């Protein structure tokens, strides 16, 4: 091995591979020799540059940049675009083969091409934006203190290489995997990597065991972990993707994501509509072909080419071509709105999944709570004190112990240094207008015994008013046995069994309230040679809590009202977890159990599934337990959202239907693998996201309802008139123009309407595969019925009104009536769908609709659609030839009848639907009374 190390031809990267997973077993001297570096001088700038070229930058794997041309090409693979393209190519081939390709037919092809290109253009722009707007919440380049050329210097962490000597202190993030060669009271928070909540005490000695987990490698500081106490000198041995966190990031970035429920549902709906369109097209062609030899059948339709073209055009018209555009616009608008509400969507298609979530698995700290410790209870002089009324300003021993047995401080710019527990004590003193810094200045610290994980206490010795006093704080399990006296008022007396019982009873009271407790004690010393931590005087108990966010309880209730179950998963103690869950309404009468990670390990999958039905609180869990919970919930057809902030949360974030990362406390890996990032780490934002997601889902369903009804009513009108009157009410170019006006112009603004506040009353889907048509079938049927009815009535009324006149004249008038009704009706009843005056009817309840909210884009585009439709009816030969529509001077009475029919369509749709809604509401109320 030594020979290999001295062989300059072997690249250092190959040498390092031989020591993979062995760094903790090697001595400091051995490691420095392997890495060819010096603890006193570090690497030279020249050598560092050479190694940077060999090992690459110290950065985590990032996704490839999207290619806009590939995105554009892929947009044509959309099922709706493919169906449109096939239909367009079919009509082109038919026209060329038949040598009967008229200007009107060319116009139809132009419309088809315009629709496909418009669809692809919007899809490309939206996809490009979404791929490039993956928001990085850590724009600021991180720095590292490193030894180069014998001098300490600050560099970008990207420039770190194996062999660099680095320096980290409290508050720093470890910049690369490093072997610790020197440390002072070093503690590192490795929760982002291992999931371990407690900070790990680090050492700089050899660890002989070869095969140990990362959490036990206490002489190594891993990249992206946080130094919470002390400081260290380390030598870097792995950077970037070769670091432990980099390996996890690489594996996750290479994994393929499954389609969202929305993508699957749209594909399924498209397939279904495609079959319906083919059937209707064949039916129209069959009827037309069977009637071609009749003398009264129009001459221009006796050609098989014309019959086939009408059939193909009708089939195209059934397909909701603009559905893809509407979906993308809904998602694009929602993405922007949600970003303002602190919900950052990485992939817009995840919005629908978020809206359909019916179970939220949430972390406690920072999401449900404030992630900030506060003093919330105080026990002194033998009783619990009311913090609002109790005056501590004259309690010198209590104040001194909090201020002097404490290493935390808050800077001038409000920067906080120290553990959360000690900072809570400092903030309590500040709130009571006590100058803790002045106390430290006037009461000089003479000695100390730092906190130790075995002793669970810390002590400081200070000179107070000329006397030497030791102050001790820590866990009561360790502190109380060493207390021989108790402070009562201004007097000190021996501690009695009754005092100890009262203290233990108070400890249980605080624990049931979800609080952590610190014991405070003191000892007057004769000199510095006295023992510090025995025969102590008990001062009191301080209870500290990370309180729930004020708004979360309301958000949890809102979630429950919306049919969304909330589950808390935390690493905290079960008593604390249950108390917080009870305060927030997560633990209720139906969910009183608490399951710990240890319990999960002893349960079978089936037993855990049964327990999960009555349990909303999971405490002391490991990362693998979170993934198990998600698996079971999904197996029961739930749509699950999972929150997380650490690298260890990544598997469950990926596994969940919606992975939600924390923007403030979350690691880069958790943000990378998640679907959603909360920029404020607040549970309330999740509910806000669900609200927006449900609005998107509802808008999409209304759009589908509008498009399908308008399209099918047109084809049914053609089919019915063809079967009853043996003639064609509309030709291919009329059909295609209807697509352009109704779908491309009128339908798209539906996706741009305002959010509806009552949408949270809609229950979430009962199953992931629930059809997009659920709840809107009645809308589609009623709209199709009345639109078709009045279109056919216009043809019938024209025949009665002009009875006895020229057959061709009657047909032209009747055709004009059908065209007016079938074109203008959707333009006006679009308002019903845009403002969602037709509530979606679900199996559970009928939702309440909001008041009318104008949509300026709809009003503008309605006006445009009306103008364009009127233009096709003007008496200009070029327009008439292009649109294959022969303008006739309609009788004023007939025109008024047609206009009346156009107005009656939305009126009949709305009134009949409201009647059905009323009947359903009455039925539901009667069912509740019976039950």
Q: Flag whether 400 is in a domain.
A: yes
Q: Is the pLDDT of residue 880 over 70?
A: no
Q: Which of 521, 541, 561 is the last residue of a domain?
A: 541
Q: What is the pLDDT of residues 429-471, one digit of tens each?
A: 999 999 999 999 999 999 988 877 667 899 999 999 999 999 9
Q: Is the pLDDT of residue 616 over 80?
A: yes
Instruction: Provide CB contacts within 8 A for 715, sequence distance 6+.
Output: 280, 284, 314, 317, 318
Who wins on pLDDT, 46 or 138? 46
pLDDT band at 302, cuts 50/70/90? low
Q: What is the pLDDT of residue 288?
A: 76
Q: Flag whether 731 is in a domain.
A: yes
Q: Flag whether 5 is in a domain.
A: no
Q: Which of 630, 656, 681 is the last residue of a domain?
A: 681
Mode of pairing for the β-strands spanning 177-189 and 200-201: antiparallel
Judge if 748 and 768 occupy the same domain: yes
Judge if 527 and 433 occupy the same domain: yes
Buried b / exposed e over 732-742, threshold 16 CB at 10 Å, is bbbbbbbbbbb
Q: Flag whether 431 is in a domain.
A: yes
Q: What is the pLDDT of residue 902?
A: 94
pLDDT band at 850, cuts 50/70/90? low
Q: Counting every residue, how long is the chain? A: 931
CA dist., res. 126 & res. 743, Å (int): 19
Q: What is the pLDDT of residues 250-277, one digit of tens each?
A: 655 544 455 666 767 777 787 788 788 7
CA dist., res. 386 & res. 877, Å (int): 91
CA dist., res. 161 & res. 609, Å (int): 48
pLDDT band at 286, cuts 50/70/90? confident
Q: What is the pLDDT of residue 324?
A: 73
Highest mean pLDDT of the ranges 193-202, 238-247, 618-627, 635-644: 635-644
* pLDDT, mean of residues 747-767: 75
Q: What is the pLDDT of residues 26-59, one digit of tens each?
A: 888 898 988 999 988 999 999 999 999 888 888 8
Q: What is the pLDDT of residue 441?
A: 92
| CATH classification at residue 555 | 3.40.50.1000
CA dist., res. 833 & res. 852, Å (int): 11
Catalytic residue among 78, 105, 189, 363: 363
Q: Structure pTM?
A: 0.69
Who wins on pLDDT, 432 or 88? 432
Q: What is the pLDDT of residue 260?
A: 63
Q: Is the pLDDT of residue 542 over 60?
A: yes
**C-alpha angle with apex 741: 739 to 746, nearest 5 degrees?**
110
The answer to whether the beta carbons of residues 751 and 703 sit under 8 Å apart is yes
Q: What is the pLDDT of residue 271?
A: 78
Q: Is the pLDDT of residue 550 over 50?
A: yes
Q: What is the pLDDT of residue 2?
A: 45
Task: Please state, in angstroms and as integers, the Cα–Cα distance from residue 259 to each residue in 154, 263, 265, following that order.
Answer: 45, 6, 10
Instruction: Provide CB contacts within 8 A for 68, sequence distance 6+.
Output: 124, 128
pLDDT band at 548, cuts 50/70/90? confident
pLDDT band at 388, cuts 50/70/90? confident
* pLDDT, mean of residues 909-915: 88
Q: Is the pLDDT of residue 760 over 70?
A: yes
835, two tokens: 């403002």
Going by the DSSP 8-state scheme, the letter that residue 785 receives in this structure is: H
CA dist., res. 757 & res. 754, Å (int): 9
Q: Is the pLDDT of residue 6 over 60?
A: no
Q: What is the pLDDT of residue 840?
A: 67
Report how many domains make up the chain.
4
Q: Is the pLDDT of residue 917 over 90?
A: no
Beta bridge partners of 178: 221, 236
What percent of the chain shows pLDDT beyond 70?
83
The answer to whether the beta carbons of residues 765 and 356 sit under 8 Å apart is yes
**C-alpha angle with apex 786: 785 to 789, nearest 5 degrees?**
85
Q: What is the pLDDT of residue 572?
A: 73
The answer to whether the beta carbons of residues 736 and 108 sit under 8 Å apart is yes
Task: Please state, in angstroms and as integers, the Cα–Cα distance from residue 731 to each residue in 22, 89, 221, 311, 727, following that order.
Answer: 78, 18, 75, 10, 10
pLDDT band at 847, cuts 50/70/90? low
Q: Where are the alpha helices (DSSP H) in 319-390?
A: 323-340, 350-355
117, two tokens: 């290109």
Instruction: Kindly write down the DSSP assignment for every residue of 850-867, as one continuous string.
Output: PPP---HHHHHHHHHHHH
The answer to whether the beta carbons of residues 620 and 572 sit under 8 Å apart is yes
* pLDDT, mean of residues 478-494: 92
Judge if 869 and 915 occupy the same domain: yes
Judge if 565 and 599 occupy the same domain: yes
Q: Is the pLDDT of residue 588 over 60?
A: yes
Judge if 267 and 288 occupy the same domain: yes
Q: Flag whether 16 is in a domain.
A: no
What percent of the chain shows pLDDT beyond 90?
24
Who wins on pLDDT, 505 or 198? 505
Q: Is 363 a catalytic residue?
A: yes
Highest mean pLDDT of the ranges 65-69, 494-498, 624-628, 875-879: 494-498
Q: Flag whether 4 is in a domain.
A: no
Q: Flag whether 655 is in a domain.
A: yes
pLDDT band at 136, cuts 50/70/90? very low
Mean pLDDT of the chain: 81
Judge if 201 and 265 occupy the same domain: no
How many Cβ atoms sit within 10 Å of the Cβ of residue 783?
Answer: 30
Judge if 575 and 662 occupy the same domain: yes
Task: Please state, in angstroms and as integers, the Cα–Cα distance from residue 918 to each residue in 762, 847, 915, 926, following that order.
Answer: 17, 11, 5, 12
Judge if 825 and 892 occupy the same domain: yes
Highest mean pLDDT of the ranges 80-84, 116-120, 136-140, 427-431: 427-431
Q: Is the pLDDT of residue 641 over 90?
A: yes
Who wins on pLDDT, 3 or 665? 665
| CATH classification at residue 178 | 2.70.150.10
Q: Is the pLDDT of residue 402 over 90?
A: yes
| CATH classification at residue 469 | 3.40.1110.10
Q: Flag whether 3 is in a domain.
A: no
pLDDT band at 1, cuts 50/70/90? very low
Judge if 598 and 664 occupy the same domain: yes
Full residue range of the structural domain in which residue 586 is found? 343-370+549-681
Judge if 477 and 602 occupy the same domain: no
* pLDDT, mean of residues 774-791: 91
CA dist., res. 836 & res. 851, Å (int): 9
Who wins on pLDDT, 907 or 257? 907
Q: What is the pLDDT of residues 303-339, one digit of tens each?
A: 666 677 777 777 777 777 777 777 777 887 888 888 8
Q: What is the pLDDT of residue 863?
A: 93
Backbone angles phi, psi at 671, to 5 degrees: -70, -35
Q: Is the pLDDT of residue 853 over 80?
A: no
The answer to whether the beta carbons of residues 796 and 831 sit under 8 Å apart is no
Q: What is the pLDDT of residue 522?
A: 96
Q: Which of 656, 681, 706 is the last residue of a domain?
A: 681
Judge if 595 and 469 occupy the same domain: no
Judge if 723 and 823 occupy the same domain: yes
| CATH classification at residue 794 | 1.20.1110.10
pLDDT band at 806, cuts 50/70/90? confident
Q: What is the pLDDT of residues 151-180, one digit of tens each?
A: 889 898 889 999 999 998 876 789 899 999
């Amino acid at each position: 091995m030594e020979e290999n190390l001295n062989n300059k031809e072997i690249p250092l990267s190959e040498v390092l591979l031989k020591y993979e997973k062995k760094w903790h077993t090697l001595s400091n001297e051995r490691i420095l020799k392997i890495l060819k570096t010096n603890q006193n001088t570090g690497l030279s700038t020249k050598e560092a540059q050479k190694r940077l070229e060999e090992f690459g930058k110290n950065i985590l794997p990032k996704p490839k940049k999207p290619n806009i041309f590939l995105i554009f090409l892929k947009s044509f693979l959309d099922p709706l675009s493919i169906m449109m393209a096939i239909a367009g190519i079919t009509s082109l081939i038919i026209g060329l083969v038949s040598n009967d390709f008229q200007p009107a037919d060319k116009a139809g092809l132009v419309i088809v091409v315009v629709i496909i290109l418009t669809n692809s253009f919007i899809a490309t722009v939206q996809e490009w934006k979404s791929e490039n707007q993956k928001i990085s919440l850590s724009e600021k380049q991180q720095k590292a203190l490193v030894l180069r050329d014998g001098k300490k210097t600050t560099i970008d962490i990207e420039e770190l290489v194996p062999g660099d000597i680095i320096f980290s202190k409290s508050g720093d993030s470890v910049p690369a995997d490093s072997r610790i060669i020197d440390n002072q009271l070093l503690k590192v928070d490795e929760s982002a990597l291992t999931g371990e909540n407690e900070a790990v005490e680090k050492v700089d000695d050899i660890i002989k065991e070869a095969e140990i987990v990362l959490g036990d490698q206490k002489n190594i500081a891993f990249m992206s972990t946080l130094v919470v106490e002390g400081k260290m000198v380390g030598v870097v041995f792995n950077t970037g993707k070769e670091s432990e966190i980099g390996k996890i990031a690489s594996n996750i970035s290479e994994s393929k994501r499954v389609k969202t429920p929305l993508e699957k549902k749209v594909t399924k709906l498209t397939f279904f509509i495609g079959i319906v369109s083919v059937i209707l097209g064949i039916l129209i062609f069959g009827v037309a072909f069977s009637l071609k030899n009749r003398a009264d059948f129009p001459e221009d339709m006796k050609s098989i080419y014309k019959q086939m073209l009408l059939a193909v055009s009708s089939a195209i018209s059934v397909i909701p071509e603009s559905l893809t555009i509407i979906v993308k616009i809904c998602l694009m608008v929602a993405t922007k709105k949600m970003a303002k509400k602190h919900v950052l969507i990485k992939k817009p298609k995840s919005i629908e999944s978020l809206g359909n979530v019916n179970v939220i698995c949430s972390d406690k700290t920072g999401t449900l709570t404030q992630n900030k410790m506060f003093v919330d209870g105080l026990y002194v002089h033998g009783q619990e004190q009311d913090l609002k009324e109790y005056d501590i300003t004259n309690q010198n021993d209590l104040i001194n112990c909090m201020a002097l047995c404490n290493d935390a401080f808050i800077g001038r710019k409000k920067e906080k240094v120290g553990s959360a527990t000690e900072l809570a004590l400092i903030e309590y003193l500040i709130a009571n207008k006590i100058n803790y810094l002045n106390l430290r200045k006037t009461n000089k610290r003479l000695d100390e015994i730092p906190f130790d994980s075995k002793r669970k206490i810390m002590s400081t010795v200070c000179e107070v008013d000329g006397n030497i006093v030791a102050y001790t704080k820590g866990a009561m399990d360790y502190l109380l046995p060493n207390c021989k006296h108790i402070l009562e008022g201004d007097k000190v007396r021996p501690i009695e069994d009754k005092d100890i019982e009262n203290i233990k009873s108070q400890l249980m009271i605080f624990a049931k309230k979800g609080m952590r407790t610190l014991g405070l004690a003191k000892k007057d010393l004769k000199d510095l040679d006295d023992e510090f931590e025995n025969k102590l005087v008990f001062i009191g108990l301080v209870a500290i809590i990370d309180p729930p966010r004020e708004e979360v309880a309301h958000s949890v209730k809102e979630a429950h009202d919306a049919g969304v179950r909330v589950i808390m998963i935390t690493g905290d103690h079960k008593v604390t977890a249950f108390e917080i869950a009870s305060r927030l309404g997560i633990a209720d009468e139906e969910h009183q159990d608490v399951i710990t990670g240890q319990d999960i390990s002893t349960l079978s999958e089936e037993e855990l599934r049964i327990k999960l039905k009555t349990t909303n609180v999971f405490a002391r869990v490991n990362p693998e337990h979170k993934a198990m919970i998600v698996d079971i919930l999904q197996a029961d057809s739930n749509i699950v959202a999972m929150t997380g902030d650490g690298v260890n949360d990544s598997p469950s974030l990926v596994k969940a239907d919606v992975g939600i990362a924390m923007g403030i406390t979350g690691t880069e890996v958790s943000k990378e693998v998640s679907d959603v990032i909360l920029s404020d780490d607040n549970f309330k934002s999740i509910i806000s996201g669900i609200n927006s997601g449900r609005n998107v889902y509802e808008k999409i369903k209304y759009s589908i309802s509008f498009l399908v009804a308008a399209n099918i009513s047109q084809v049914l009108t053609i089919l019915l008139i063809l079967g009853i009157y043996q003639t064609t009410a509309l030709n291919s170019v009329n059909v295609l123009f209807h697509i352009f006006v109704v779908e491309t112009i009128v339908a798209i603004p539906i996706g741009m309407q305002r959010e509806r506040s009552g949408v949270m009353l809609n229950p979430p889907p009962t199953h992931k595969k629930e059809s997009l048509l659920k709840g809107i079938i009645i809308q589609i049927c009623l709209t199709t019925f009345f639109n078709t009815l009045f279109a056919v009535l216009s043809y019938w009324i024209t025949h009665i009104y002009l009875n006895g006149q020229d057959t061709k004249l009657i047909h032209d008038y009747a055709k004009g009536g059908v065209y007016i009704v079938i074109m203008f009706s959707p333009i006006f009843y679009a308002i019903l769908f845009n403002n969602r005056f037709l509530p979606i009817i679900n199996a559970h309840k009928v939702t309440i609709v909001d008041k009318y909210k104008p949509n300026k884009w709809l009003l503008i585009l309605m006006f445009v659609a009306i103008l364009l439709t009127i233009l096709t009816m003007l008496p200009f030969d070029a327009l008439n030839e292009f649109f294959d529509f022969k303008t006739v001077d309609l009788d004023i009475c007939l025109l008024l009848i047609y206009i009346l029919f156009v107005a009656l369509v939305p009126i009949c749709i709305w009134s009949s639907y409201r009647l059905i809604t009323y009947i359903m509401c009455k039925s539901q109320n009667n069912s509740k009374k019976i039950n």
